A and B are shown apart, each in its own frame.
Chain A
Amino acid sequence: MNTLAVAGLLLVLLGLSYQTGWSRSRALVTTGGQKVHSRPQYHGAYTALWTMIPTLLVLLLWAWLGGEITHNYIVSQIPTDVLQSLDQAGLNATIERIRAIASGFGVAGDVAPFEQTAGENLRNFQMLTNIGVLLVAALCGGAALLYARKRITARLRARNAVERVINIVLLLCSAVAILTTLGIVTSLLTEALRFFTFIHPFDFFFGTVWAPNNAPGSGNYGRYGLLPLLAGTLMITAIAMLVAVPLGLMAAIYLSQYAPRRLRSIAKPLIEVLAGIPTIVFGFFALVTVGPFLRDFGRLVGLNINATSALTAGIVMGIMIIPFVSSLSDDILNQVPRTLRDGSYGLGATQSETIRKVLLPAALPGIVGAFLLAVSRAIGETMIVVLAAGNAPVLRGNPFEPVATITVSIVNQLTGDTDFSGPQSLVGFALGLTLFVITLGLNIFALYIVRRFREQYE
């Protein structure tokens, strides 16, 4: 279908209908001198909506069915004896040739007579259907326009009608968020359930060996034990928290309680720059700078540290999470009422004593909530771990050795693979479901704590 013609038709109809409604409304005022319910713009929009909706419906219907109809027409143009001699690939090739002839581009080599006639017929058919569809759309739109124009009277509540449509559109937009959640839950659940038809859930959730057999076709699927991945995830998360919580919390305390205004206004955005850096950059930084540094440092003090290890990934992930922890803690510290602080100062406490003995205990629930949110962020982090953790799905407790995490295994099992027939790729969804449930639980719990904390001081 000619895009330009469609766009032209739509634009003309839009302008025409709006203008019709508008001038009709103006005419009511000038000739009748009546009090009109809605302003002219609303009458214009009202007519435009009436006109555009049927037109678009016709065009959408054709976009949906048109391909099928054209296809059937082409097949009907191929003589039956030829049709029977063709397999599916040959049929597709012939259809493509006929389309090429019809478009005027032509084909290389000899053209069978039936192809030539079919091509010419197809050209006529396409022209006719295109014009026909445009005509039908324009007629529908025109009829609707006339109907809407007739409906315009002084008492017509055009504004209310237009606002009702706007309301429905707004409602549909907010439904997208629910649909997203629904899509996530159903896709994870159905694919994970399919995975569990291959591998018993017990073997998945409590298995201690992760050794998928990625060669397709063989009956041996390999072993899919979650525990080594979970252990790796938790180890990296713990290291990241050991880095992020002290640094983030102290930074937040200093910035919110001590720092002069100027310093605060400079340092706070600079720390937030860390939050804007893409994780792939952190991953590369960990791989080429932090990892080798830790390895050399380990050699210096007699430790055997791998360049790609849980430690490397954990430290860099901790750095990444600092701004997250610090901005959440900052908010929470600011919510503790001033009176608590002033009372403490009044009793002669120093600033740090006030912070440690009054402010922090009062803010503790909120800070725990922030901590949990940070944990959930760390568990779901992917690229740093893919690059810097070494991908060794083995159950062991040494942070200096390579590990693998849930997210890494999802990436390894699913990249570019759309063939969801074996457990090799389906396991990605089981892992995703595990990840989703863990982070969801943490988030709900954390948000609950933070909300309780807020209510306590409101």
Chain B
Amino acid sequence: MATDHITAAREISQERTRLVRSGLRRRHRNEAIFRGLGIAAIALALGFVALLFVDMTRKGIPAFVQSNLHLEVFFDPAIIDVGPAPVASEFASPAQYQAADLRWRRELALLNWNRILEASLMAKVPAGTEISSRELLSIPETNARHQLREMFVANPDLLGRTVPVDILASANADNWVKGNINRSLGDAQQQLSPAARTVIDAFEADGTITNGFAWALFTNTDSRAAPASAGLLGAFVGSLYMMLIVIVLAVPIGVAAAIYLEEFAPKSRLTDFIEVNINNLAAVPSIVFGLLGAAVFINYMHLPISAPLVGGLVLTLMTLPTIIIATRGALLGVSPALRQAALGMGASKTQMVFHHVLPVTLPSILTATILGVAHALGETAPLLLIGMKAFVAQVPATPLDQATALPVQIYLWQGNENRNFFEPRTAAAIMVLLGVMIVLNGTAIYLRSRLEKRV
């Protein structure tokens, strides 16, 4: 009787253990699956980062190499038959000299520099090759004749002399040399004629065309007529101006606003409203700031369109909330002991804030500033609305000149029709932009870890 009871109880308990065991197995399996899902999510996210960087690098690296033509150019006096360059001292006023100089340059511009270019190219073409001048001129960059003319303007003594000149190959020739275009495609789909392709191959074989680092990418501005010489310099300078304006305006104003709100403002409805307001401003889509810029700065204040000044102002307004919020957070984190000690020693509130609290928060403010500036640097949409996508062929001399910005340049290049040439170039521009970003963000992270340890 008693043993029956014990056996039954044992069976029940064994049954229970079995149940728990099998349940445990299931639960541990679920645990592993859940954990696996977490790892998978992180792996996917990091995989995307890696894929993006690898993909952009793979696409962009070819654009850092560019085909160059090495030619011997003879500045033929028979073709360049203009008078000597005017000299400033012979004229009564600078304006008259300028007029004469312009006249001289205009005469030069009317000359057929392509004949000079053609002659120097022809000298390199292997004997017996049939090629028309049109086909021959499709090999060098379309602005090569301007390059020769500018060489002559800078140094009129070149007349009658033969000098070695390096000229960029045209975008199509560059594509052909680098294999960006499928060589087995039929003539109808090729941009270059069969004769031009043969000559390019011959040039490549005899060293007239070599591949070198694409300095043009960094030293030239954008160019529509001559895509192979299109570069980032103008956009880079435009972005630089805007970043300077953001730093000069957003940082002092943002920090001052944060100090006021955190330290001085009386707790009232108004300050609550400002706080809500700033939080919302931080989440307003960037394109709305572009609308604000177009309506207020350009349409109402009549500031110049496409100017880095307007872009900088718009980006400043966009960055302000970020800096204010970060600075307030940093101020809030300063230990009350520090404040009380300062006040106890007889410091006024302003002295306490500026002499004791603010220096402690400088690392955080610096980090927030760098991150905010990096974010502003990559912003594109608001700049499109204030006309910064205009084609600009000069390096902006002042923040009031027309300019574009690095991300906008990327936007413009990705839309170019010559995809074979501009896809690598766009990717290269992206690499430059990402490089600047990484340097900025890396500095911020480094500063944060280094300076915060000391406090």
Q: Which A residues fall within an 8 A CB radius of B? A: 100, 104-109, 159-160, 163, 166-167, 169-171, 173-174, 176-178, 180-181, 183-184, 187-188, 190-191, 246-251, 253-255, 258, 267, 269-271, 273-274, 276-285, 287-289, 319, 322-323, 326, 350-353, 355-356, 373, 376-377, 379-383, 386-387, 407, 410-411, 414-418, 420, 428-429, 432, 435-436, 439-440, 443-444, 447
Q: Which B residue sits closest to A355, measured CB to CB?
A: B34
Neighbouring A residues of B300 by C-beta, 8 Å:
187
Q: Nearest Cβ distance between residue A349 and chain B, in whole angstroms?
A: 9
28 contacts between A and B (CB under 8 A): A107-B95, A167-B260, A170-B264, A173-B256, A174-B274, A177-B320, A180-B292, A247-B41, A248-B45, A250-B38, A251-B41, A254-B38, A277-B52, A278-B378, A281-B378, A282-B52, A284-B414, A319-B48, A350-B31, A353-B27, A355-B34, A379-B285, A386-B381, A407-B287, A407-B381, A410-B385, A414-B290, A418-B299
Question: Which residues B54-88 have CB closer than 8 A to chain A?
Answer: 55-56, 59
Q: CB distance B410 to A284 under 8 Å?
A: yes
A271 to B427, CA, bound (A): 22
A430 to B353, CA, bound (A): 44
Q: Other CB < 8 Å A-B pairs besides A278-B379, A282-B52, A350-B28, 5 of them?
A: A174-B256, A180-B317, A254-B42, A383-B381, A407-B287
Partner of B55, one of A169, A285, A353: A285
Neighbouring B residues of A105 by C-beta, 8 Å:
93-95
Q: CB distance B45 to A382 under 8 Å?
A: no
Q: CB distance B55 to A289 under 8 Å?
A: yes
A170 to B262, CA, bound (A): 11
Q: Encode B23-50 as 1/0 by CB contact (under 8 A) with A.
A: 0000110110011011111101110110
Q: Nearest Cβ distance between residue B89 and chain A, in whole angstroms?
A: 14
User: A-side binding surface: helix, strand, loop or mixed?
Assistant: helix
Nearest first, the 8 closest Cβ-Cβ pairs linking A and B are A380-B285, A278-B378, A106-B93, A254-B38, A108-B99, A250-B41, A187-B295, A352-B34
A-binding segment of B9-17, B144-152, B225-233, B433-441:
B433-441
Give the size of the chain B interface in residues (CB under 8 angstroms).
Answer: 99
A105 to B93, CA, bound (A): 6
Q: Nearest Cβ distance between residue A251 and chain B, in whole angstroms?
A: 4
A371 to B38, CA, bound (A): 18
Q: CB distance A383 to B380 under 8 Å?
A: yes
A273 to B46, CA, bound (A): 9
A356 to B127, CA, bound (A): 80
Q: Nearest Cβ distance between residue B251 and chain A, in whole angstroms?
A: 11
Q: Nearest Cβ distance between residue B399 and chain A, in whole angstroms?
A: 15
Neighbouring A residues of B37 by C-beta, 8 Å:
250
Say if the beta carbon of B340 comes within 8 Å of chain A.
Answer: no
Q: A176-B253, A273-B441, A432-B287 are in contact. Are A247 and B385 (CB under 8 A)?
A: no
Q: CB distance A418 to B292 under 8 Å?
A: no
Q: A163-B348, A170-B259, A382-B381 are in contact. Are A274 and B42 (CB under 8 A)?
A: no
A414 to B295, CA, bound (A): 11
A379 to B292, CA, bound (A): 18
A176 to B40, CA, bound (A): 45
Q: Nearest Cβ distance between residue B284 and chain A, in whole angstroms?
A: 7
Q: Nearest Cβ distance between residue B287 and chain A, in whole angstroms?
A: 5
Q: A247-B44, A288-B59, A415-B385 are in contact. Are A281 and B430 (CB under 8 A)?
A: yes
Q: Which A residue sits closest to B252, measured CB to CB?
A: A173
Neighbouring A residues of B384 by C-beta, 8 Å:
411, 414-416
Q: Nearest Cβ distance between residue A180 and chain B, in whole angstroms?
A: 5
